[in-house]
């Protein structure tokens, strides 16, 4: 870890995820972009998504890290990791359609660039190719793992769908309790939990290790989603889309619980569109709110909870890496 200490924690975490997840992501990208039966317009949407928008190294990295954590070889997780990257990509495209999200960061989404019909078909292509790749990957595994791994992933992605349905009813609700939205975020953490659990299974971990690493993954996924909600407040297009079409970001929901900031916040966001000048006002109100301070403290306590699950990991090198991913979720918030 010494060579990483001079960098910010998040930068260290990103390099770690690339180191452990890049190989699987390249397999995923090759698998979908070498399909020649796809319509030219859908293929172009997939090429745009995989080369310019979607860089899912985190799910494959969680698989390979937890596999090594219990004494396994990371190489054994790469095809399952590639399948998960495709399946998660399909969910992401379909999610953008549901949320009418046309821009993420500084990039048009597939929905924003190609429209609804092409986006649906591109998502479907990723879904079917991911399922085939998962089937092929499981053939390489011992008999005891062939059935359990697809079932874990099935449950995780069904949970993601259920979370999206629940979240839709929160649209425009200024009275939503943060605890209600946190329940949805917890469900969304299912894929991270599945990856850490499956990694430990492929690595031949003991049941105690598999369960503990699964709980670690759920905690990490929960924290990562909260961090993403913080980031959404800083991105004007994403914040405006969430105000119009989705649930308000969790930090805003917390700030709305503060009587001193509630009225000021609602007066800005109730119009349905936030200007650049108004964005700064929102940031000041939210980040200085006492309730949001409590949210930060909650995140810190969850980091320590996540660390406690790693006592089953004998490999101190990998345990430090898993600590790092937890710590990165709260940096600069």
3-state secondary structure 143-199: HHHHCHHHHHHHHHHHHHHHHHHHHHCCCCCCCCCHHHHHHHHHHHCHHHHHHHHHH
Q: In terms of C-beta density within 10 A (0-12 exposed, 13-18 middle, 19 or more buried), how is residue 172 classed?
A: middle
The residue whose two tokens read 């359990």 is 148
pLDDT at 200 over 70: yes
Global confidence as pTM: 0.94
The C-alpha atoms of residue 60 and residue 138 are separated, in whole angstroms, by 15
Q: In terms of C-beta density within 10 A (0-12 exposed, 13-18 middle, 19 or more buried), how is residue 287 classed?
A: middle
Structure tokens given for 8? 């910010």
pLDDT band at 237 (very low <50, low <70, confident <90, very high): very high
pLDDT at 241 over 70: yes
Which pLDDT belongs to residue 168?
Answer: 84
Structure tokens given for 90? 């399909």
Which pLDDT belongs to residue 35?
Answer: 85
pLDDT at 183 over 70: yes
DSSP line for 256-281: TTSHHHHHHHHHHHTTS---HHHHHH
- What's the gap between Cα 86 and its chain centre? 13
CA-atom Rg of the chain in angstroms: 20
Please state, for a pLDDT cut of 90, what percent of the chain lies above it.
Answer: 89
Q: Are 197 and 213 in contact (CB under 8 A)?
A: yes
What is residue 77's DSSP assignment? G
pLDDT at 3 over 70: no
Question: What number is the average pLDDT over the span 68-95?
Answer: 97
């Amino acid at each position: 870890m010494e060579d990483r200490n001079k960098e910010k924690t998040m930068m260290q975490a990103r390099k770690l995820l690339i180191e452990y997840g890049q190989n699987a992501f390249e397999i995923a990208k090759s698998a979908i972009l070498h399909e020649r039966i796809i319509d030219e317009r859908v293929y172009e949407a997939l090429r745009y998504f995989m080369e310019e928008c979607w860089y899912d190294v985190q799910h494959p990295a969680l698989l390979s890290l937890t596999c090594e954590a219990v004494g396994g070889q990371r190489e054994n997780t790469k095809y399952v990791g590639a399948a998960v990257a495709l399946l998660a990509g399909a969910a992401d495209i379909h999610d953008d359609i549901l949320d009418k999200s046309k821009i993420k960061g500084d990039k048009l989404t597939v929905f924003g660039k190609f429209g609804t019909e092409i986006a649906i078909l591109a998502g479907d292509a990723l879904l079917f190719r991911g399922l085939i790749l998962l089937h092929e990957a499981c053939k390489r595994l011992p008999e005891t793992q062939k059935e359990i791994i697809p079932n874990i992933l099935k449950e995780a992605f069904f949970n993601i769908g259920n979370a999206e349905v629940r979240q839709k009813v929160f649209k425009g609700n200024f009275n939503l309790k943060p605890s209600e939205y946190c329940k949805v975020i917890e469900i969304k953490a299912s894929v991270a939990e599945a990856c850490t659990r499956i990694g430990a299974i492929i690595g031949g971990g003991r049941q105690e290790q598999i369960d503990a690493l699964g709980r670690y993954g759920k905690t990490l996924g929960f924290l990562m989603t909260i961090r993403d909600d913080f980031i959404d407040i800083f991105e004007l297009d994403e914040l405006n889309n969430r105000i119009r079409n989705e649930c308000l970001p969790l930090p805003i929901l917390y700030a709305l619980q503060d009587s001193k900031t509630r009225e000021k916040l609602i007066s800005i966001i109730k119009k349905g569109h936030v200007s650049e000048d108004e964005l700064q006002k929102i940031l000041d109100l939210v980040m200085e709110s006492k309730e949001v301070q409590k949210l930060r403290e909650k995140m810190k306590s969850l980091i320590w909870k996540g660390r406690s699950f790693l006592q089953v990991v004998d490999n101190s090198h990998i345990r430090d890496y898993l600590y790092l991913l937890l710590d990165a979720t709260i940096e600069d918030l």
